[in-house]
Amino acid sequence: MAAELIRGHLDLLVLSVVARGARHGYAIAEQLRLTSEGDFDIPEGTLYPALYRLEAGSLLTSEWTVVDGRRRRMYRLTRAGKRELARRTREWTSFADAVQRVVSKPARSQM
């Protein structure tokens, strides 16, 4: 999967995963790899800054936890995050529909 396609859509993916329950960064990346069947392999240098942006925008909150001696920063959706996820999901649908219309429109008026 060409990675540059994800640009602009990563927030939707992250919000969607966190909406299924609180997750830490590493687990979010893992979940995305699994659910996308390997298509989305987000580098840490992409994912962590994205999480900070989402938290800075009050769409996520985080807290440190320790599991088996390793620290994890757990993220969960805020109320605004839930709203934003709903908005972005609708936006994705209309975007995907529009792309589909452009791509699948039959050829005509060859020159």
List of residues contacting DNA (CB under 7 A): 3-4, 6-11, 24-27, 42-46, 48-53, 67-74
Q: How far is CA 99 from CA 72, 91, 93, in A?
A: 38, 12, 10
User: Residue 66: helix, strand or coil by DSSP?
Assistant: strand
Smallest distance from the beta carbon of 18 to a second copy, in angstroms?
10
80 binds, among a second copy, DNA, none (CB under 5 to 8 A by kind): none
The Cβ of residue 109 has, within 10 Å, a number of other Cβ atoms equal to: 4
| Ramachandran category for residue 60: left, alpha or beta (phi over 0 → left; psi -120 to 50 → alpha) | beta
Nearer to DNA by Cβ, of 19 and 26: the residue is: 26
49 binds, among DNA, a second copy, none (CB under 5 to 8 A by kind): DNA
Question: Residue 54 burial by CB count (10 A; 0-12/13-18/19+): exposed, middle or buried?
Answer: buried
Binding site for a second copy (CB under 8 A): 1-2, 4-9, 12-13, 16-17, 19-22, 32, 35-37, 39-40, 74, 76, 89, 91-92, 94-96, 98-103, 105-111
